[in-house]
Amino acid sequence: MATHQHNAALSASAASHQPAPASSGGQGPAGTSYARSWRKPATWHLRTRLVLVAMALLITICAAIGISTFASMNSFLTDQLDTQLGQAAERSNDAGRRPQGDDDDSRPNFLNPEVQVVGTLSARIAGGQVTSAGFLAGNATRSPLSSGDRASLLALSPGAGPSDVSLSEGNYRVAAAQLPTGEVLITGLPLAAKENTLSSLVLTMVVYSLVGLLLIGLAGTVLIRRTMKPLEKLSDVATRVSRLPLDAGEVALAVRVPPVDANPGTEVGSVGHALNLMLDNVANALQARQRSETKVRQFVADASHELRTPLTAIRGYTDLMRMTEKFTPDGERSLARVRSQSERMTTLVEDLLLLARLDEGQPLKLGEVDLSQLVVESVSDEKVIARQHLWTLDLPADPVLVRGDAAQLQQVLINLLSNARKHTAPGTTVRSRVRVDGFFAELTVTDDGGGIDPAFVDQAFARFARADPSRKGLGAPAGASGAEGTSGLGLSIVQSIVEAHGGTVSLSSRPGNTVFTLRIPLLADAG
């Protein structure tokens, strides 16, 4: 019955676990925390890294397309402008062959508004001086050049091809040509139209790229999340298994990856299939371990039960011989030794039977127990046995009520107090304290003895672990408390009984301060 109850509890526990929501931190098995930091990409979610990598690739592609498009458009517009510049130079040359105008008949009109576009630059250089120059304004008039413009034009080399210069009217594409008369004719067209076209192109590409990246980023995030969903299911299965109590008892390891996520034909499905195979192997190993433990427990229980009768007979015949026969002093000592060892063996058998019953999960005889009263009674009994120790109590004014098996809880107190008595020298102070901590009653048994070797603390509650070799300062003479023999089962019984009551027991030790701490749930209506 207890085994079925245990399986049901495990199944309910496994079913109740849900996948943890994503957050800035993660939590692994046994409560191990994993902090995520934006400075450490290795701690980011895989889906986050995939989205960022995809966005980085798209940004690179958009940048490459933008740069190549800008370069192609710039080259196209420059070639187009150079063609227009050559045509404008021919018109200026043709217009310069005949004088026009009443005020300046001696000079040819290179900026004839009838053949040139607004903004055209025309200049004539003779003898290293600019003899005639200007910009064609919108009202068909000529705008003069500044001194800086003249200096820029004088620096041009005839026949060198078109080049860009910065003038007072803006940026210009200019070309210098040698005339048959020996003069240099300079013609220029503004770059404003080209620059505006390129600016519009850049703005359009940036806006459409950002909008496209935003839409692709959102769509990619949704798709990647859906794609990664099976991995989250695998993680959930592994997390649920990690939270199962697999260290003891009969375990029904029924958690598996769903078949739809365990298809070996896909990468994620291969992982799910491998995880299911591993869980099957673990389940088989746990079942084999449980069968072996069950056989061992049954053997221990049967052997202990069978040993009761001969041990009782040995003690009975020993008492009968002492009452009916006369022995020499050596014979009396030998007979007393026989009885002492039979009593010790009887205690060991009773401890083994108790552990076997606890391992089988036999129901407790639960009732209302005043923990403070149990402590008083147990400490009073130890005072009679060990008068050389100093026994102190620290109890609250009100009763501390728990729901438990009074006999087994008293066994816990007896084991802890006798443990302190047996493994400390006379004169040691043993303090028992009871207090209420939230929904738990907390009992501590503290002694100021030599302490326990740190290497032994972790195995103190293991069965047949003996504290005698690990205690410090036990060089007391024979007959002292530390000289008593122990079975190594006392603390194992303490742990098993406390856990059967839904509580916990812990140990901390250093020289002069060894503390056993028990926490047992309070009675439901005790608060």
Average pLDDT of the residues in 165-188? 88
Average pLDDT of the residues in 34-38? 62
174-198 b/e with 16+ CB inside 10 Å = b? bbbbeeeeebbbbbbbbbeebeeee
Torsions phi, psi for 348 (to 5 deg): -60, -45
Model confidence pLDDT, tens digit, residues 118-163: 888 888 888 888 888 888 877 777 888 888 888 888 888 888 889 9
127-152 b/e with 16+ CB inside 10 Å = b? eeebebbbbbeeeeebbebeeebbeb
pLDDT for the residue numbered 18: 41
Structural tokens at position 211: 């909008």
What's the residue count for the chain? Answer: 527
DSSP-derived letter for residue 417 is H
Model confidence pLDDT, tens digit, residues 466-525: 655 444 433 333 333 344 556 677 788 888 889 888 899 999 988 989 999 999 999 875
Q: What is the pTM of this model?
A: 0.48
- Cα dihedral 516, 500, 438, 443, rounded to 10, equals -30
Average pLDDT of the residues in 21-35? 48
Average pLDDT of the residues in 90-95? 76
pLDDT for the residue numbered 103: 44
What share of the chain has pLDDT > 70, as a percent?
Answer: 82
Q: Which amino acid is at 208?
A: Y
pLDDT for the residue numbered 102: 43
pLDDT for the residue numbered 205: 93
Q: Write down all domains in the chain, each with its CATH number in brackets.
A: 256-363 (1.10.287.130), 364-521 (3.30.565.10)
